């Protein structure tokens, strides 16, 4: 009896291992190190020059349909072992592939920076009429190597003031969707899908829907997207180089009089926690999506670590 139980347990264990192996192979073979945990998000971007930026988004479906769709990320990106991995741009195309001389010549003549070009979605222009847009880079956050691309991603679905409004100055605030036809996209337009109240109501390729903050008081509800200082911001830019330091500081203090700059961990937790300032259900999200946004797993990577080392249990 005991021998039969041991044999049965061995068979069951073997079957379980086989199921898990095939299940992992079918579901995770393309992303065994969890790269798409971060890179799945449209608009994942960092600034590189005064007007340029680098895009890190990879659309999984389009990647699967590409020539390398059945190749795991770490098969080519062999030097990436941690987050952030700034500067790790080495791509190994001969790690078990492309070993023939004709392939090596083809690789040598190919700009590998374009390999994922068709799998990226991001905003190339956003003309919302705000004073912020006059001075700041389209993707303005740059100081934190770990978090900057995640923070820049948020311009795609919320206005600057949603995070940066001074809530000590404005006590009664409301958050709701605002829609416009002012965005230009590369890849697949994606702003509309963040507004569950309207779904795909707009077919325009320039449509974007973002969460905005409103000040409520005296029977009025005012959008805090600062469009009233836009002309003054244009004047400031035209005169900036001729200004004395004190005058420049005074003008900048004026433009930022309603703005608060918070630590990254505070900013993340203001929305993605049980004490969120956003009522996700009132914004139209389902119970499941609201729960996922509050408990989003990527937040821990940003708030708990300075360097996160990728697990290598699946690496060959």
For the chain, domain boundaries = 1-30, 31-309
Residue 122: the pLDDT is 93
pLDDT at 6 over 90: no
Most confident among 17-26, 57-66, 192-201 (mean pLDDT): 57-66
| Per-residue H/E/C for the chain | CHHHHHHHHHHHHHHHHHHHHHHHHHHHCCCCCCCHHHHCCCCCEEECCCCCEEECCCCHHHHHCCCCCCCCHHHHCCCCCEECCCCCCCCCCCCCCCCCHHHHHHHHCCCHHHCCHHHCCEEEEECCCCHHHHHCCCCCCCCCCCCHHHHHHHHHCECHHHHHECCCCCCCEEEEEEEECCEEEECCCCHHHHCCCCCCCCCCCCCEEEEEEEEEECCEEEECCCCCCHHHHHHHHHHHHHCCHHHHHHHHHHHCCCECCCCHHHHHHHHCCCCCCCCCCCCCCCHHHHHHHHCCCHHHHHHHCCCEECCCCCCC
* Mean pLDDT of the residues in the chain: 82
Half-sphere exposure (CA, 13 Å, Cβ side) for 256? Answer: 11
Residue 193: the pLDDT is 61
Residue 315: the pLDDT is 52
Among the ranges given (186-195, 242-251, 292-301), the one the predictor scored with the smallest mean pLDDT? 186-195
Residue 111: the pLDDT is 85
Query: Looking at the DSSP assignment, which residues form a beta bridge with residue 215?
Result: 173, 222
pLDDT at 302 over 80: no
As a whole number of Å, the end-to-end CA separation of the chain is 40
Among the ranges given (78-92, 145-159, 234-248), the one the predictor scored with the smallest mean pLDDT? 78-92
Among the ranges given (70-74, 200-204, 249-253, 267-271), the one the predictor scored with the smallest mean pLDDT? 200-204
Mean predicted confidence (pLDDT) in 273-287:
92
Mean predicted confidence (pLDDT) in 199-227:
85
Residue 188: the pLDDT is 85
Choose among 136, 164, 132: nearest CA to 259: 164
Between 230 and 87, whose confidence is greater?
A: 230
């Amino acid at each position: 009896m005991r021998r039969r139980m041991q044999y049965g347990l061995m068979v069951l264990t073997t079957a379980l291992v086989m199921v898990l192996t095939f299940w992992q192979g079918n579901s995770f073979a393309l992303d065994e190190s969890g790269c798409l945990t971060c890179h799945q998000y449209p608009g994942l971007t960092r600034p590189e020059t005064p007007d340029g930026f680098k895009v890190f988004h990879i659309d999984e479906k389009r990647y699967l349909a590409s020539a390398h769709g059945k190749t795991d990320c770490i098969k080519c990106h062999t030097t990436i072992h941690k987050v952030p991995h700034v500067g790790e741009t080495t791509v190994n195309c001969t790690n078990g592939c492309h070993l023939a001389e004709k392939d090596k010549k083809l690789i040598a003549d190919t700009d590998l920076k374009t390999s994922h070009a068709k799998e990226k979605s991001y905003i190339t222009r956003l003309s919302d009429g705000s004073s912020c847009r006059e001075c700041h880079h389209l993707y303005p956050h740059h100081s934190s190597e770990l978090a900057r691309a995640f923070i820049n991603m948020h311009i795609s679905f919320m206005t600057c003031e949603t995070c940066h409004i001074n809530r000590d100055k404005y006590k009664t605030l409301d958050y709701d969707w605002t829609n416009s036809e002012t965005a230009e996209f590369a890849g697949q337009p994606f702003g509309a899908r963040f507004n569950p109240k309207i779904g795909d109501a707009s077919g325009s390729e320039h449509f974007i829907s973002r969460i905005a903050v409103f000040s409520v008081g005296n029977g009025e509800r005012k959008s805090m997207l600062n469009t009233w200082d836009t002309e003054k911001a244009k004047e400031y830019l035209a005169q900036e180089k001729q200004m004395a330091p004190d005058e420049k500081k005074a003008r900048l203090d004026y433009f930022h009089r309603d703005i608060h700059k918070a630590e990254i961990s505070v900013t993340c937790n203001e929305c993605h926690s049980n004490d969120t300032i956003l009522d996700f259900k009132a914004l139209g999200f389902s119970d499941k999506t609201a729960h996922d946004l509050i408990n989003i797993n990527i937040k821990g990577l940003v708030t708990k670590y300075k360097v996160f080392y990728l697990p290598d249990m699946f690496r060959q």
